[in-house]
């Protein structure tokens, strides 16, 4: 709400006088729009009753933020079905914004955040609302459709219009399904985050082919992937956390600079094409001899390395050290965490110092094995 600062003055007879000064309303519209784009939409709507000007401001705020976890307490005192009341509020807001676009030139939506539980009977309504938002040249989309775990698991299937929104630059998807893709055209997309998203290897491959400018990709606990192949000439930052063990994982990204990978990947991980990596973090990855050899000798530009529970010794034999040059001459930071007892800590330290002669920080830690 537009806050008012109270200014105190004194009259001639010494009694205080208070005058309310509304400083926020004096700000230019673009600055007010920017400030309100970070405020939950329910609060922005409430501010629209202050005056005609604030009503017009609400119709021009470029970002809409809906989250049932943030909003539910607002609806619970006024409705026996707060979740339904939240959905009604979202629908009504989007309808009003759709109407306002017909007569207010700057009534555009460039960013939408919608976090809510998904119910199958709302699929058509969601499709219509998202299709409307996409038509308005949206740039950032954050969708989370977590399910009620006490009912049968049903994923919301992402409309194909979203996968062909040419204006999108940032997309975050959580607990959705991407399937039955016929076309993907996201030429402006720079950052893509998929968390607990259901998709197959073919859908992931087609999705990446349709993102020619992608720079950052996150895959976290996505279901349905067995042999994911990540190919991109533009990708620089990649983070993968497997939902279950992959049979194979192939990463073909020649310009990749940072990789975080884990979640019990098997020993068939292929990173041979990633020669430009400078920062690498591996956790819960089972390395065989070939994978370990690729790790040690395959990243000449490596500057930062973190290994957590990777189940393989990093003690390079002394005979090999005498005939080979150090594989990581640029490495500055190295962290190794293991469940194994460090009985040969000095030997491990000496081997790691040979591997990276320019090392500035070396951390070797024992981690307590977790019990379930």
Which pLDDT score is estimated for 152? Answer: 59
What pLDDT score does 344 carry?
Answer: 65
pLDDT at 359 over 90: no
| Mean pLDDT score, 144-164 | 79
Per-residue model confidence (pLDDT) at position 13: 52
Percent of the chain past pLDDT 70, that is, above it, reads 77
Tell which residue, 28, 30, 34, 8, has the closest CA to residue 19: 8
Give the Cβ contact number of residue 117 at 10 Å.
18
Q: Is the pLDDT of residue 25 over 90?
A: no
The answer to which of 138-142, 179-183, 265-269, 367-371 has the lowest mean pLDDT is 367-371
Q: Which tokens hold the place of 114?
A: 């919608």
* Angle made by CA atoms 213, 219, 220, in degrees to the nearest 5: 155
Residue 279 has pLDDT above 80, yes or no: yes
- How far is Cα 83 from Cα 214, in angstroms, rounded to an integer? 36
Contacts of 213 (CB under 8 A, 6+ apart): 187, 188, 189, 190, 234
| More confidently predicted of 369 and 196 | 196
- Separation CA 268–CA 247 (nearest Å): 7
Question: What are the tokens at 9?
Answer: 């003055």
Q: What is the residue-averaged pLDDT of the chain?
A: 80
What is d(CA 91, CA 59) in angstroms, rounded to the nearest whole number? 15
Per-residue model confidence as pLDDT tens digits over 52-85 = 777 777 788 889 999 887 666 666 555 567 778 8
CA distance 250 to 231: 8
Q: Are strands 140-144 and 304-308 parallel, antiparallel or unpaired?
A: unpaired
Predicted confidence (pLDDT) per residue in 209-262, tens digit: 999 999 999 999 999 998 999 999 999 999 999 877 788 888 999 999 999 988
Residue 354 is predicted with a pLDDT of: 81
pTM tops 0.85, yes or no:
no
User: What are the E-state strand segments in 30-185?
Assistant: 63-67, 111-115, 140-144, 156-157, 170-174, 176-177
Q: CA triplet 129, 134, 140: central angle to 5 degrees?
A: 105
| Cα 110 from chain centroid (whole Å) | 18
Matching residue, tokens 């957590």: 308
154 class by beta-carbon count within 10 Å (0-12 exposed, 13-18 middle, 19+ buried): middle
């Amino acid at each position: 709400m537009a806050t008012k600062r109270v200014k105190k003055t004194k009259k001639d007879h010494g009694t205080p006088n208070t005058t309310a000064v509304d400083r926020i309303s004096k700000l230019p519209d673009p600055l007010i729009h920017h400030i309100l784009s970070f405020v939950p939409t329910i609060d922005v709507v409430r501010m629209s009753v202050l005056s005609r000007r604030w009503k017009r401001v609400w119709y021009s705020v470029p970002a809409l933020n809906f989250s049932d976890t943030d909003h539910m307490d607002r609806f619970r005192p006024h409705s026996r079905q707060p979740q339904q009341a939240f959905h009604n509020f979202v629908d009504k807001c989007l309808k009003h914004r759709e109407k306002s676009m017909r007569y207010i030139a700057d009534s555009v939506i460039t960013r939408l955040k919608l976090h809510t539980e998904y119910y199958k009977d709302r699929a058509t309504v969601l499709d219509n609302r998202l299709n409307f938002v996409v038509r308005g040249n949206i740039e950032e989309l954050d969708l989370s459709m977590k399910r009620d775990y006490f009912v049968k698991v049903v994923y919301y299937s992402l409309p194909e219009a979203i996968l062909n929104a040419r204006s999108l630059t940032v997309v975050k998807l959580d607990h959705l399904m991407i399937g039955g893709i016929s076309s993907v055209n996201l030429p402006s997309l720079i950052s893509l985050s998929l968390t607990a998203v259901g998709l197959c290897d073919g859908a992931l491959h087609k999705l990446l082919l349709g993102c020619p400018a992608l720079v950052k990709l996150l895959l976290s606990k996505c279901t349905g992937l067995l042999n994911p192949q990540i190919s991109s000439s533009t990708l620089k930052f990649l983070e993968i956390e497997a939902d279950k063990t992959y049979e194979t994982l192939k990463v073909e990204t020649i310009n990749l600079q940072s990789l975080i990978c884990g979640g019990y990947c098997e020993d068939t991980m292929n990173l041979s094409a990633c020669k430009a990596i400078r920062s690498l973090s591996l956790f819960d990855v089972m390395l065989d001899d070939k994978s370990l050899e690729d790790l040690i000798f395959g990243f000449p530009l490596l500057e930062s390395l973190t290994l957590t529970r990777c189940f393989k010794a990093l003690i390079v034999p002394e005979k090999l050290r005498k005939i080979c040059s150090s594989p990581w001459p640029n490495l500055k930071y190295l962290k190794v965490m293991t469940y194994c007892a460090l009985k040969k800590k000095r030997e491990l330290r000496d081997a790691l110092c040979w591997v990276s002669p320019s090392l500035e920080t070396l951390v070797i830690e024992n981690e307590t094995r977790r019990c379930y």
